[in-house]
């Protein structure tokens, strides 16, 4: 009976070694499949700060908490080179740019600008932005209540400058 248990234990150990070897091999292979981490070229005249008034305190908040995902000026961290984390980040940035891109603000219609300004305030007020997954690593991006107030006051002010829709 003892010999039978020994054989089973040895087979389990061998199976675990093979399993971990396969996991390591798959992990190594996926490192070769890398997403593109490029920042598209941007016409500087289309950037948010060249289209509307952005006070320095607002710009500071946007730089710290928003522009890594919502501009063509993303600073990719070292861990973006480790897959599958890199795939997640590339997808996340692509989605963020699609939803709101401060680098392409000048391409937005007045109606879209108004809507995006309203969304900025709404999203930070309810805590949807910045994303919690981003804040886990980028603690400096956490918005204080004062930061939220500053952003919402700014968005309200900029909305009031837009021509009314009739």
pLDDT band for position 2 (50/70/90)?
low
77 plus 111 within the same structural domain: yes
110 plus 66 within the same structural domain: yes
Q: Give the separation between CA 75 and CA 68, rounded to whole angstroms.
A: 6
Q: What is the radius of gyration, based on Cα positions, of the chain?
A: 24
Q: What is the pLDDT of residues 30-83, one digit of tens each?
A: 888 888 888 899 899 999 999 999 999 999 999 999 999 999 999 988 888 899
75 plus 130 within the same structural domain: yes
Using alpha carbons only, what angle is made at residue 85 by residues 81 and 89, rounded to the nearest 5 degrees?
90
90 plus 49 within the same structural domain: yes
122 plus 62 within the same structural domain: yes
Tell me the residue range of the domain where 7 lies: 1-30
Is 126 a domain residue? yes
Mean pLDDT, rounded, for 99-108: 96
13 plus 72 within the same structural domain: no
Is 166 a domain residue? no
50 plus 119 within the same structural domain: yes
Is 92 a domain residue? yes
Whole-model pTM: value is: 0.81
6 plus 82 within the same structural domain: no
CB 93 within 8 A of CB 74: yes
Domain count for the chain: 2
Q: Give the separation between CA 157 and CA 11, rounded to whole angstroms.
A: 70
Residue 166 has a pLDDT of 52
Q: What is the pLDDT of residues 115-139, one digit of tens each?
A: 999 999 999 999 999 999 999 989 9
Of 112, 131, 110, 124, the residue nearest 154 (C-alpha):
124
20 plus 70 within the same structural domain: no
62 plus 24 within the same structural domain: no
Residue 113 has a pLDDT of 95
Residue 1 has a pLDDT of 59
23 plus 93 within the same structural domain: no
Residue 9 has a pLDDT of 82
155 plus 99 within the same structural domain: yes
């Amino acid at each position: 009976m003892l010999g039978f248990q020994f054989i089973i234990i040895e087979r389990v150990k061998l199976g675990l070694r093979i399993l971990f070897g396969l996991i390591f091999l798959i992990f190594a292979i996926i490192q070769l499949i890398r997403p593109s981490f490029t920042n598209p070229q941007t016409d500087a005249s289309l950037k948010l700060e060249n289209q509307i008034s952005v006070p320095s305190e607002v710009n500071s908040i946007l730089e710290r908490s928003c522009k890594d995902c919502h501009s063509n000026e993303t600073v990719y961290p070292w861990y973006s080179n480790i897959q599958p984390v890199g795939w997640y980040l590339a997808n996340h940035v692509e989605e963020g740019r699609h939803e709101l891109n401060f680098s392409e603000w000048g391409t937005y219609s007045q109606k879209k600008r108004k809507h995006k300004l309203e969304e900025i305030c709404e999203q930070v007020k309810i805590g949807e932005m910045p994303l919690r997954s981003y804040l886990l690593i980028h603690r400096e991006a956490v918005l204080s209540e004062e930061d939220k107030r500053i952003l919402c006051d700014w968005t309200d002010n900029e909305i009031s400058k837009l021509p009314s829709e009739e």
